[in-house]
Amino acid sequence: MPKFIFVAGGVMSGIGKGVTTASIGKILTSKGYRVTAVKIDPYVNVDAGTMNPIEHGEVFVTGDGTECDQDVGNYERFIADNLTTDNYITTGRVYQAVINRERNLEYKGKCVEVVPHIPQEVINRIKKAARKTKADFVLIEIGGTVGEYQNSLFLEASRMMRLAAPNDVLFVLISYLPVPQIIGEMKSKPTQQAVRWLNMAGIQPDIIVARSLVPLDKPRKKKISVFCNVAKEDVISAPDIKSIYEIPLNFEKDRLGDRILRKFGMRTKRKGDLQDWKRLVRIIKTSKKPVKIGVVGKYFETGKFTLTDSYISVIEAIKHAAWFHKRKPEIHWLSSEDYEKNPKTLKELKEYDGIIVPGGFGGRGIEGKIKAIEYCRKNKIPFLGLCLGLQLSVIEFARHVCGIKKAHSAEFAESGDLVIDVMPEQKALIRDKKYGGTMRLGDYKCKLKPNTKSIKAYKTSNIVERHRHRYELNNEYREKLEKNGMVMAGINPEKDLVEIVELKKHPFFVAVQFHPEFKSRPTKPHPLFKEFIKAAVK
Ligand code: GLN
């Protein structure tokens, strides 16, 4: 019988519920158990695929092609597992399934009600994830904050599960303790209120993870213990730290893993010493020499704030590779629109050791990205293009090297030389406005050509990578591009689609149609990022 650990958030959002959940997973894995994690997002969207990155942050893609929340990416990076559509639940998915079943008469004439049918569907999905993964522990992160209207049905599902199997379900509340500058003291009242909210939903947390600026002192732990009705030892201190990869180590200082196992009457299978991560954290802390990487994008400006959430997997992949080379990753955000307004500023690219043009949608900012790519090509700056980054590299090369002046992508232009075009089956989908979940998504095979930078990086000629795009390199232009020196370094064998392009006589110019960033792990960086950073360091 698997054990279920629900994780909910109190006081406010953005306090790292995802990485906390992932860290609990890491700890239990290190103790010899099989762990999986499920993210519940309370929004009505069926999946994250139709949302704008500024609205939602990164859309993470699993191997089976599920477009989901970035927290699923955190789970994969921490637990080092490959997750699937079963690891992701939304209000939209739950209601859609229940309504479809009702239409098929599967409720056998019954009145289908919000309670219990909706929470029951949630429970079924959680149990399915447990069954399919054969996990000893299923972590379930409930999105949003307790007390919200939106996630109450998910809390209800957790309450029902606990009622049915009290010994198999645990509840963790991740809360926040502010230290208001003017008072100078850590305040516990908001956390007490959050627990009250949970109590009203019929739930008593077993463990409280207390996020704050600084570690909790004894009086604070005692106060939370008394007022929130949990043992002192179950109040876990989670202060702000520089690297998220240190969180599992910090939790273990408060013996979180043992507390969880004890509550389930279980024991450590293996001495969970987290050696690999201790080594990683040591490198993170001691790598002083920087490697300076510029990311040319557009999804990071909202008003006066810079949001880098849209590129979280790219950021993590850069970091993993930099640490592999014992360098301190220094990542800078470069706005492609600035290069359009003022091309003189392109010169700043010279200050970077490497440049990345990541994925993206829509025409805003693309000409600036093309200018940046041209600059990297001509000035031999190590360059890595991801998805849209490949498409724009091809347009740039077609325009400026092959002399195809009107080269463009069907995503942004209706006529001209569409060197990037849409696949025939995609045309019908766009015409019928069938946008949700219909891109080329998830794992596809790719065969690498000999004597390329890619094969040198991967050290094998058959790879599988994750995709999320509608447009492709148009094979009608392949010969012309090749004749002018663009190397088609990776091809999808089933459909003969170009997956990787490279340039010779350049220290590192590689662009890929897929998203390698999704498969990078902290202690196992992605081969392409590894080679890119190596070139950047050089
Ligand atoms: N917009 C492009 C496409 O749909 C690229 C997508 C991406 O970068 N993920 O093909």
Q: Looking at residue 305, what is its pLDDT? A: 54
Residue 276 to residue 470: CA distance in whole angstroms: 39
How far apart are the CA of 412 and the centre of ligand 1, in A?
A: 11
Q: Looking at residue 300, what is its pLDDT? A: 63
Angle between helices 366-378 and 388-400 (to 10 degrees): 70
Q: What is the pTM of this model?
A: 0.94
DSSP state at residue 22: H
More confident residue, 374 or 435: 374
- pLDDT of residue 304 exceeding 70: no
- pLDDT of residue 313 exceeding 80: yes
Residue 343 to residue 448: CA distance in whole angstroms: 36
Cα dihedral 383/387/388/392 (nearest 10) = 50
Residue 168 to residue 126: CA distance in whole angstroms: 13
What does the block give as tokens for 121? 């569907």
- pLDDT of residue 273 exceeding 90: no
Q: Looking at residue 511, what is its pLDDT? A: 98
Residue 389 to residue 261: CA distance in whole angstroms: 46
- pLDDT of residue 302 exceeding 70: no
| Torsion sign, CA atoms 428, 431, 437, 439 | positive
pLDDT band at 307 (very low <50, low <70, confident <90, very high): low
Best mutation site among 409, 429, 470 for ligand 1, i.e. most ligand atoms within 8 A of its Cβ? 470
Contact 112, 57 (CB under 8 A): no
- pLDDT of residue 303 exceeding 80: no
Contact 241, 285 (CB under 8 A): no
Task: Indicate if ligand 1 lies below 6 Å from the C-beta of 388.
Answer: yes
Q: Looking at residue 446, what is its pLDDT? A: 98
Q: Looking at residue 12, what is its pLDDT? A: 86
Is 515 one of the catalytic residues?
Answer: yes
Residue 322 to residue 337: CA distance in whole angstroms: 27
Contact 39, 142 (CB under 8 A): no
CB hemisphere CA count around 324 (13 angstroms): 22
Q: Report the atom number in ligand 1 closest to the C-alpha of 420.
A: 10
Which alpha helices (H) appear in 8-108, and where do they start and end? 17-30, 53-56, 70-79, 91-103
pLDDT band at 425 (very low <50, low <70, confident <90, very high): confident
Task: Indicate if ligand 1 lies below 6 Å from the C-beta of 387.
Answer: yes
Strand order through the sheet with 207-212? 88-90, 35-41, 137-145, 3-9, 169-177, 207-212, 235-239
Q: Looking at residue 54, what is its pLDDT? A: 77
- pLDDT of residue 449 exceeding 70: yes
Q: Looking at residue 11, what is its pLDDT? A: 83
Best mutation site among 295, 310, 387 for ligand 1, i.e. most ligand atoms within 8 A of its Cβ? 387
Identity of residue 299: Y
- pLDDT of residue 461 exceeding 90: yes
How far apart are the CA of 189 and the centre of ligand 1, in A?
A: 46
Q: Whose CA is nearest to atom 6 of ligand 1?
A: 469
Q: Report the atom number in ligand 1 closest to the C-alpha of 468.
A: 9
Q: Looking at residue 170, what is its pLDDT? A: 97
Q: Looking at residue 3, what is its pLDDT? A: 97
pLDDT tens digits for range 150-168 = 999 999 999 999 999 999 9
How far apart are the CA of 521 and the centre of ligand 1, in A?
A: 23
Q: Average pLDDT, stretch 7-30? A: 93
How far apart are the CA of 395 and the centre of ligand 1, in A?
A: 14
Determine how many CB atoms are found less than 10 A away from the CB of residue 18: 25
Alpha carbon distance, N-terminus to C-terminus of the chain: 52
- pLDDT of residue 498 exceeding 60: yes
What does the block give as tokens for 421? 């075009």
CA-to-CA dists, residue 524 to 77, 276, 319, 323, 460, angstroms:
10, 11, 11, 10, 16
For the chain, the average pLDDT equals 94
pLDDT tens digits for range 369-392 = 999 999 999 999 999 999 999 999
What does the block give as tokens for 179? 């230290």
Contact 385, 510 (CB under 8 A): yes
Which H helix or E strand runs over 176?
strand 169-177
What does the block give as tokens for 228? 């929130």
pLDDT band at 26 (very low <50, low <70, confident <90, very high): very high
Q: Looking at residue 80, what is its pLDDT? A: 80
Q: Report the atom number in ligand 1 closest to the C-alpha of 471.
A: 10
Residue 97 to residue 242: CA distance in whole angstroms: 41
pLDDT tens digits for range 153-211 = 999 999 999 999 999 999 999 999 999 989 888 999 999 999 999 999 999 999 999 99
What does the block give as tokens for 167? 């010994």
Domains of the chain: 3-279 (3.40.50.300), 287-537 (3.40.50.880)
Task: Indicate if ligand 1 lies below 6 Å from the C-beta of 471.
Answer: yes
pLDDT tens digits for range 277-292 = 999 999 999 999 999 9
Q: Average pLDDT, stretch 142-156? A: 93
Q: Which residues contact 26 (CB under 8 A, 6 or more apart)?
A: 78, 79, 248, 274, 277
Q: Looking at residue 492, what is its pLDDT? A: 97
pLDDT band at 1 (very low <50, low <70, confident <90, very high): confident
More confident residue, 301 or 273: 273
Is 517 one of the catalytic residues?
Answer: yes
Contact 129, 36 (CB under 8 A): yes
- pLDDT of residue 269 exceeding 90: no
pLDDT tens digits for range 209-261 = 999 999 999 999 999 999 999 999 999 999 999 899 999 999 998 899 999 99
Query: What does the longest C-alpha to C-alpha distance in the chain come to?
Result: 75
Contact 144, 9 (CB under 8 A): yes
The catalytic position among 325, 506, 515, 526 is 515
Q: Average pLDDT, stretch 477-491? A: 97
